[in-house]
Structure 1
Amino acid sequence: MLKEFKEFAVKGNVVDLAVGVVIGGAFGKIVTSMVNDIIMPLVGALTGGINFTYLKFVIKGAHGKVPEVTLNYGNFIQNSIDFLIVSFSIFLFIKLINKLKREKKAEIVEIELKSSEEVLLLQEIRDLLKK
């Protein structure tokens, strides 16, 4: 069982997944900071200083030691905006990575085409020399 676990743990996919999780966590912190520290203050300024987090609908008021029952829709709005911004940021990041991959692939194909043209030319020269 230990041997099987060792084989599983050192597979490339597991290591890649671990790296992805660590990088994803760090990227998530960056995006969360961007949302909380840059975007939401701007949204608050545009909406007259409204902080969505504290918006709520009181279903039942507080009575003595019993706290009020509320529907915290502002927190839901805040989390929804956070989600949209995070998902859009990840989309843009993945789009950039795919663009860079396509450019790299195009360079490789171009190099292969040049090398194949050179190979064909060398083969023609070889064939002519044989004759």
Structure 2
Amino acid sequence: MWKDFRSFAIRGNVIDLAIGVIIGGAFGKIVTSLVNDLIMPILGLLLGGLDFSELSFTFGDADVKYGLFIQSIVNFFIISFSIFLFIRYISKLKKKEDAKEEEPVPDPQEELLKEIRDLLKEQSKQS
């Protein structure tokens, strides 16, 4: 069982996934700070000094903080858009790479047939 786990964990895909999760977590913290510390205060000022983190209402004994929910939605859209741009950029790079790899390699038989054709054309012109 240990051997199976070790071979699974050492595979490149698992390591890539772990790196992606770590970078994603750090990116999420950056975006959260961007939204909470920059975007929402500016948006609040534009809306007349409104502080979204303080928006809430009481329903029975529960305090419903819908301002925090609005901030989470803004976080989601920023992260989604950033990931979209990143994937789009990577896809363009991948297409360029694939186009370079797909350059046709001349078939030796075709080359030989073209040479024979050219030689026959030359012989027919000389006759």
Which is worse superposed, 73-82 or 32-41?
32-41
Mapped partners of 1:31, 1:106: distance in 2: 35
The answer to whether the 8 A contact 2:40-2:52 is kept is no
What is aligned with 2:49? 49
Structure of greater Rg: 2
The answer to whether the 8 Å contact 2:28/2:79 transfers is yes
Shift of 1:6: 0.9
The answer to whether the 8 A contact 2:52-2:70 is kept is: yes
Of 69, 75, 78, the residue aligned with 1:76 is: 69
Find the residue that maps to 1:16 and give its secondary structure. helix
Shift of 1:107: 2.9
Hey, what does 2:111 align to over in structure 1? Answer: 123
The alignment of Structure 1 onto Structure 2 pairs a total of residues equal to: 117
Q: Which string of whole-angstrom CA distances, capped at 9 and with x for unpartnered residues, describes residues 22-68 of structure 1?
A: 221222233223323332233122212211111111235xxxxxxx6
Instruction: State how far apart, in whole Å, the 1-side matches of 2:24 and 2:87 are.
Output: 12
Q: Distance in 2 between matches of 1:73 and 1:14?
A: 38
- Percent identity between the two aligned chains: 50
Distance in 1 between residues matched to 2:114 and 2:49, nearest whole Å: 78
Matched with 2:82 is 89
1:29 aligns with 2:29: yes
Relative to the length of structure 1, the TM-score reads 0.70
Residue 18 (structure 2) aligns with: 18
TM-score of the superposed pair, with normalisation by structure 2: 0.72
Unaligned runs of 5+ in 1: 61-67
Q: Which residue of structure 1 lines up, in the alignment, with residue 3 of structure 2?
A: 3
What secondary structure is seen at the aligned counterpart in 1 of 2:18? helix
Contact in 2 for aligned 1:32/1:86 (Cα 8 Å) = no
| Distance in structure 2 (CA, Å) of the matches to 1:29 and 1:120 | 57
RMSD (Å), alpha carbons: 2.8
